[in-house]
Amino acid sequence: MNTTESHTGAGLKSTPLVGIDIGGSLAKLVLFEPTDPAQSAIMTENDKYICDYILSKTVYATNGVRDTDLCMKAVELGGHVGNLHFIRLLVTDIDDFLAEFQETRPEHPSTSVACLTGAIDKFSETLKNGLNLVLKSRTEFDCLVKGIHYTRLYNPIETSHWIRDENGELCQTQYNEVLTYPLIVTNAGTGASVNLVKSPQDYNLIGGTSLCGGSFWGLSCLLTGCETYDEAMALAEAGDNTNVDKVCGDIFGAAFVGYPITQVASNFGKMNSEDARAKAKKEDLARSVLWIVTDIIGRVSRLHADVQGARTVIFTGNFLHNNHISMKHLTTDFELFGIKVLFLEHDGYFGAIGALLECAGL
């Protein structure tokens, strides 16, 4: 169904500008900035104001940011050409973001058409009133899969994987091959969903886990006293989980049935020792929590891949944003079973991109 807004006298339909995806921790907004004159001529005043407001800055409210490095230029949407911009902010900052937007908004603006996925019931009225939107809603999983396929079409460097160099070290490199179906898409955010994709049009939710990014953040705060997600990740990056976890080497003194000597055998397994507890730093604790969460996401995804006969797993979601520790861990785990693991550049934005596409009737 085409949900774009018709403008009297224009004889054209304006492509929607905004797709929104609200999760358990982050709100993601994708803005389509028209660059062709035909689209610009039929934008509502509210369309223009939203566009001008978002593009006038890169930081919003308390913690909101525009990921300028992810901007996609000269993409086609609804027969018009423009640029895609990507904004994320904490769910707890939505009210501040809207208040900041409204400070300089015209007194009686027209409306804009947008689409929301994710926490629809919780935030639809707030966003309608705050941004003056005619708001459509779509299911999270439809938007996720549609957003992935669209983004891969317009961004040739979207997909990457980790391969081993001549020294056996993992290096991230571009992946240009055609996707083979069936495949698994695991969306790792506050929680994780596991989706079976048989084709771009045939997909369904088949599982998931509640242990994901929200768990990493919450447990890290509890164990280390940190406050923000970025602080938790910085601690994990500086830590050594082998000061907290028992590994194969601690138990067997060697590698075990194909697993390396550093393979974790028991998460937090050393913490029953008073000496080990005294030695472990908060960085080590955060690293161990990250390891647990990554391991669970990987195992759940791999089991579903085995059951469904899928040999490719795509990981998306903000939990993996610049999270090289987890990417490497997942790659190492899956390569033992001959399953290809892929990662995407616009990791947490596919729901919002898909919402924008759904709103444009695509």
Query: Which active-site residues does the annotation give?
Result: 140
CA distance 156 to 134: 33
C-alpha span between 180 and 177 (Å, rounded): 9
The pair of structure tokens assigned to 13 is: 């339909």
Q: Are the C-beta atoms of residues 163 and 174 closer than 8 Å to each other? A: no
- CA dist 307 and 207 (Å) reads 12
Q: What is the CA radius of gyration of the chain?
A: 22
| Structure tokens that stand for 1 in this block | 């169904």
The length of the chain in residues reads 362
The CA distance from 239 to 234, in Å, is: 9
**E strand or H helix at 46:** helix 45-55
d(CA 136, CA 90): 22
Q: Classify 151 as helix, strand or coil.
A: helix
Spatial separation of the C-alpha atoms in residues 93 and 103, rounded to whole Å: 16
